């Protein structure tokens, strides 16, 4: 008796279906992760990171980025300006400071109002009065305050003496507040010193004042251009004593005998 043949079973699932299902599962997982990441709770993320730091012994860092750093108030800026000076500049170092000062002036587009020169006694900054004061006044104007603050960035780090000289032209003053050019030139030098000491917090002992009126002109007082050049406040950053002490050294031999060298007294 012949055996009954088993009925043919249906065909199996095509192999590509398995691959397709795997791919769809991966895509679904990927999109779920995208949605989850886009809706993260920042607070929970920070808590998770903090717990990880604690677990691994990592020290806690600052809680804000550099962009979030608060801007210091004026009082804080004043305290920063009262930092201890780094030391005194000798003459050989002043060329670098002069270049830095010129860059500060160029940024303010005030190059025509300031002359910078290194001489034997130190660094000279000549500031035209027209950019600092109104005619006949000793009150600093906003433009002048900005200029003085910009220059202070290069003057504050050092402890050299700063001599502030007030100069005028030969025209007689008509201001009732200042009877002579001597009074006016001193008041202007004092205003600059007062700004640096009170507003910038610089040491008062660093400053010397000189009222020179029209005794040291740079140009001819017969022309308007010459008078404008003579009206100025001059800041002299004196060279360190170590630099000037060389003239007292017995090894220093002048080209002329000392009796032939004419020394004029300083015109205070």
All domains of the chain in start order, with CATH: 91-247 (3.30.1330.60)
Closest CA to 124 of 144, 150, 151: 151
DSSP label at residue 221? T
Q: Which residues contact 114 (CB under 8 A, 6 or more apart)?
A: 101, 105, 125, 126, 127, 128, 147
**CB burial of residue 118 (10 Å; 0-12, 13-18, 19+):** middle
Closest CA to 124 of 167, 164, 93: 164
Cβ 167 vs Cβ 233: under 8 Å: yes
Taking 50 as the pLDDT cut, the residues of the chain under it are: 52-85, 242-268
Percent of the chain whose pLDDT exceeds 70: 66
Handedness of CA 83, 86, 89, 95 (dihedral sign): negative
Backbone angles phi, psi at 128, to 5 degrees: -65, 135
Alpha carbon distances (Å) from 53 to 43, 47, 48, 58, 59: 15, 10, 9, 5, 7
Give me the pLDDT at residue 235, please: 96
Give me the pLDDT at residue 44, please: 57
pTM of the model: 0.58
Bridge-based pairing of strands 162-167 and 232-238 is antiparallel
What is the signed CA dihedral for 164, 167, 172, 175, rounded to 10 degrees?
Answer: -30
CA distance 89 to 158: 7
**Residue pLDDT, tens place only, 60-86:** 433 333 334 343 334 334 444 444 445
Cβ 131 vs Cβ 188: under 8 Å: no
């Amino acid at each position: 008796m012949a055996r009954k043949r088993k009925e043919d079973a249906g065909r199996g699932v095509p192999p590509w279906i398995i691959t397709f299902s795997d791919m769809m599962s991966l895509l679904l997982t990927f999109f779920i992760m995208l949605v989850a990441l886009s809706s993260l709770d920042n607070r929970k993320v920070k808590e998770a990171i903090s717990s990880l730091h604690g677990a691994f012994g990592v020290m806690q860092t600052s809680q804000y980025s550099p962009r979030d750093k608060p801007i210091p108030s004026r009082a804080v800026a004043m305290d920063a300006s009262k930092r201890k000076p780094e030391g005194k500049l000798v003459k050989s170092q002043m060329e670098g400071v002069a270049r830095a000062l010129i860059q500060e002036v160029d940024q303010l587009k005030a190059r025509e109002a300031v002359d910078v020169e290194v001489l034997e006694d130190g660094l000279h900054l000549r500031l035209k009065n027209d950019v600092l004061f109104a005619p006949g006044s000793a009150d600093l104007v906003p433009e002048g305050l900005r200029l003085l603050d910009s220059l202070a960035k290069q003057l504050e780090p050092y402890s050299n003496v700063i001599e502030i000289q007030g100069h005028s032209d030969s025209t007689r003053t008509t201001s009732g507040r200042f009877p002579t050019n001597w009074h006016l030139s001193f008041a202007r030098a004092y205003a600059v010193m007062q700004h640096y000491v009170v507003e910038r917090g610089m040491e008062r002992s660093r400053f010397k004042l000189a009222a020179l009126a029209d005794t040291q002109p740079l140009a001819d007082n017969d022309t308007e251009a010459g008078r404008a050049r003579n009206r100025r406040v001059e800041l002299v950053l004196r060279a360190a004593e170590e630099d000037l002490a060389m003239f007292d050294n017995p090894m220093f031999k002048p080209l002329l005998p000392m009796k032939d060298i004419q020394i004029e007294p300083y015109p205070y």
